[in-house]
Chain A
Amino acid sequence: MSAKHAPVGSFLTIGTEQLQALMDVLKAAGYRTIGPRLMDSAIVFGDLDKIEQLPVGYLDRQDGGSYRLEHDDAAGYFDHVVGPQSLKRFLYPPGETLLESVRTNGQWQMKAPTIEPKPIAVIGLRACDLHALAIQDKVLLGGPYVDPNYEARRENLFIVAVNCRRAAPTCFCHSMNAGPAVDDGFDLALTEVNRNFVVEIGTPKGAEIMFDIDWLPPARNEIDEAQAVVTNLKAEMESRERRSHGNREAPRQRYLNTSSIHDLLLENLEHHRWTEVARRCLACGNCTMVCPTCFCAAVEEVSDLSGEHVRRERAWDSCFTAEHSYMNTGTVRKSTASRYRQWLTHKLATWQDQFGTSGCVGCGRCITWCPVGIDLTEEVAAIRGSEDSAGAKEARAVLAS
């Protein structure tokens, strides 16, 4: 089949084996291709050269404090959901140099290292992570000060998104309006249907890449089928969410009631639940490390022995450490309760004041990777009180019937 032009907004079909062609075209266009790979018993983003490297047929069983992979022959290319990493690792790396200073003749020459990052093409980004990317853009590019390194990497990013066909019990993107359907911000979006991929063209850049790939116009109903994948998943998440109230046997689905959540949390800054959760919280900071939007970072001085070559190195930081709020008069947030309160109220409430959006996309990573399985949706429900708790809903349902 010869090359054809597909306009933005149009749908087309490729066979699963054409993923390799897509990867090759992206590489030829100068991109470093990254995507989900199996490493250390988890599915994480890594460099991708061949489609054989994709974790085809693997499913992730996730729940509070638990992550296990299992093989399922029926599973497709992207039927796992999100792993412990997000794109944050690539655009806002865990460690990088911000400033280099050299002293010559008693004078400091200070300059920011020039970074010329190789453009990244990410394959397999989910709706939640796309929303997280939009949030990071607001934080790091939207204010009076722009983070130049993030900007340089973000500018040339190529996104091949994937519509989820499955949700983990920890997923609650549907309550955060951040999924499961990929709706915006992608160059290409894939939906796996009958061992084919239906591809939606999101941008002219995406159209250009598809120009060099053999594709077919989608067969009749294929677009409908592709769209049904996410609509059905959303409906399934919503029905599972209802069934999971008070029913321990039903498959669980997290959900978060976000109505007036800003005022709810800020009016309850002295709620006893903060102390209660602090008894379980280890203040390890895992939730902040796996969160795709957490942006706190600390800067350290790294000097050679002569003291004449000094670098300022930025590393991810966490509001769960004592150093995070440290001043001369001591640490402001001394208790774990106050640190958990800072994290949760920032993520779900004050983030809205700062950036006009929630800081949470419902990816559920903080629930899965919390060593003691603390679940933010449960904490919010507890603060919301009896009115909203699963038990109370069940009681009301019983009374109503």
Chain B
Amino acid sequence: MATMLEKPPTTEPWVAHSARIADIRPEVPGVFTYDLEFDDPAMAESYCFLPGQFNMLYLPGFGESAISISSDPQERGKLSHTVRIAGNVTQALARKQVGDPLGVRGPFGSDWPMESLRGHDIVIACGGIGLAPLRPAICHILNHRDDYGRVILLYGSRTPNDLLYTQEYDTWRDRHIEVEVAVDIGDANWRGHIGVVPVLFYRLRLKPQETAILSCGPEIMIRFVVFEALARKVKPENIYVSMERNMSCAMGLCGHCQLGPFFVCKDGPVFNFRQVESYFNLEDM
């Protein structure tokens, strides 16, 4: 959380770097993963990010959209974004093809505190597209598996067809990540849990003093994940949440993404629960 960028911010903060789409993979209905490559080899070489950070993707004529990075931070040269097609910019992105150009500004924001959580058991609790910004954290754990204790992924989506990255679950399980999945509505072939993500806590036997929670998803889901974690005596300072607000400039200059005293774009998106707890249950904050 709140690891400041080591690179000095640019003198031209509004200028996007030109890149192009190297690959497009349909994930689930309405969600695609875009692999991007920078046009400038020096940029491609120097670009690095931390798990939980995001980029501003720019489609000239349509605008910018804040999209979390979902690739492995250790795999240099690979930059992926898993995008749910929702607004003006992402709809324009959905019409693009491999080879098409776009702009990238970033990375921005705070990261999951993977270093300071070494030695902890980790519960990753997320819903829907909320798994995308946690995939780099899972990659980091896989790259440093011995640094962490028990690792559990609690993941939920609306239907079995909406579950992201299903082809990776077996690889993750092989590396001793417990993957528990729930859906709101099952289908004829669904043999797993039915229900919301917080309910998946019921069967867990945690060592609360040694457990950290990383959560991302709809705000209402995060609220109940935190509720379940606290009820199990997980220390509030070991709970991290990724918040979403209207991030337009990503630099704390435009004022849109404020949440209490924070600019979610630069003070977040990843917050320690202690930072945001007083704003958590308020309507329309």
Which residues does A use to contact B, with CB under 8 Å? 98-99, 101, 103, 106-112, 139-140, 143-148, 266, 269-270, 295-301, 303, 307, 310, 312, 317, 319, 324-329, 332-335, 337-338, 342, 346, 349-350, 353-354
Contact = CB atoms under 8 A, between A and B. Distances in A.
Contact of A325 (B86, B87, B253, B256): B256
Nearest to A303: B61
B91 to A, nearest CB: 11
A117 to B, nearest CB: 17
B12 to A, nearest CB: 5
B14 interface: yes
B254 A329 contact: no
Interface in B265-285: 266, 278-279, 282-285
Contacts of B4: 144
Contact of B246 (A270, A324, A354): A324
Contact of B261 (A108, A109, A350): A350
Consensus secondary structure, chain A interface: mixed
A328 B87 contact: yes
Nearest to B64: A299
Contacts of B102: 108
Given A108-B103, A266-B260, A301-B63, 11 more contacts: A103-B101, A108-B102, A110-B103, A144-B252, A295-B253, A297-B254, A299-B254, A300-B63, A317-B254, A328-B86, A333-B285
B258 A266 contact: no
B5 A324 contact: no
Contacts of B218: 329
Given A99-B15, A110-B15, A354-B261, A325 B5 contact: no
19 contacts: A103-B101, A111-B15, A140-B253, A144-B266, A145-B9, A266-B260, A269-B279, A295-B253, A297-B255, A298-B256, A299-B64, A299-B254, A301-B62, A303-B61, A312-B14, A324-B256, A327-B244, A329-B218, A349-B261
* 4 tightest A-B CB contacts, nearest first: A353-B261, A338-B284, A296-B255, A145-B251
Contacts of B103: 101, 108, 110
A301 B61 contact: yes
Helix, strand, loop or mixed for chain B's interface? loop
Report the contact-size class of chain B (Cβ under 8 Å from the partner): 35 or more
Nearest to A339: B284
B263 interface: yes
Given A103-B60, A301-B61, A332-B245, A143 B251 contact: yes
A151 to B, nearest CB: 9
Contacts of B246: 324-327, 332
Contacts of B282: 269-270
Given A266-B278, A327-B244, A334-B284, A101 B60 contact: yes
Contacts of A334: 284
Contacts of A349: 261
A296 B12 contact: no
Interface string B228-241: 00000000000000
Nearest to A338: B284
Contacts of A335: 284
A317 B253 contact: no
A348 B12 CA distance: 31
Contacts of A147: 13, 253
A334 to B, nearest CB: 6
Contacts of B182: none
Nearest to B99: A106
With most chain B CB atoms within 10 A of its CB, the pick from A317, A328, A346 is A328
Nearest to A102: B60
B223 to A, nearest CB: 14
B11 interface: yes
Contacts of B18: 107-110
